[in-house]
Amino acid sequence: MMSCWRSRLSGALIAGLWLTIVEPGHAQNFSSAVRFGVVETLEISEASGLVASRQSPGVLWTHNDYGATLHAIATNGVLLGSYTLPSVFSGDFEDLAIGPGPAPEYQYLY
C-alpha cells in the first residue's frame, strides 16, 4: 500500500514538473531588477533571510546564515542596528518570516 502511494505521488510530482517546463505561459513575469543600494557592513557577511518590516516602513530585517543576531537595514543597504538574541542556539539559520503573535497590535519575527 505504501509503495503504491509513493508511486502515485512521484507520478504527480513529475507531471507537475512537466507542466511547468512544457507550458511556459503559466510562468510569472518579473520586471528588471532595480538597485536601491548595497549592504556594505562587515556585520552582514552571509545574509540568509530577508523580510520587510510591517511596523517600520523602509526597514528590512535580515540575519546571517549562522549566529543569532538580527540586523535592521534601510532599503538603501545602510545598517540601522543589530540585536543578538540571548540564550539562542547559534546554529545554521536558513530563513526569516514575519507574522502575528501573542499581542495582535505587533508583528513578530520568526
- Grid cell of 85 as nine digits: 538574541
Model confidence at 26, pLDDT cuts 50, 70, 90, reads low
Distance CA 77, CA 89 (A): 27
> In the chain, pLDDT over 90 holds for what percent of residues?
26
Task: State the pLDDT confidence band at 8, using cuts at 50, 70 and 90.
Answer: very low
Provide φ and ψ at 22, rounded to 5°: -75, -35
Rg of the chain (C-alpha set): 20
* Burial category of 105 from C-beta neighbours within 10 Å (exposed 0-12, middle 13-18, buried 19 and up): exposed
**pTM of the entire structure?**
0.66
With cut-offs at 50, 70 and 90, classify the pLDDT of residue 78: very high
- Specify the higher pLDDT residue, 10 or 72: 72
> Span 50-69, mean pLDDT?
89
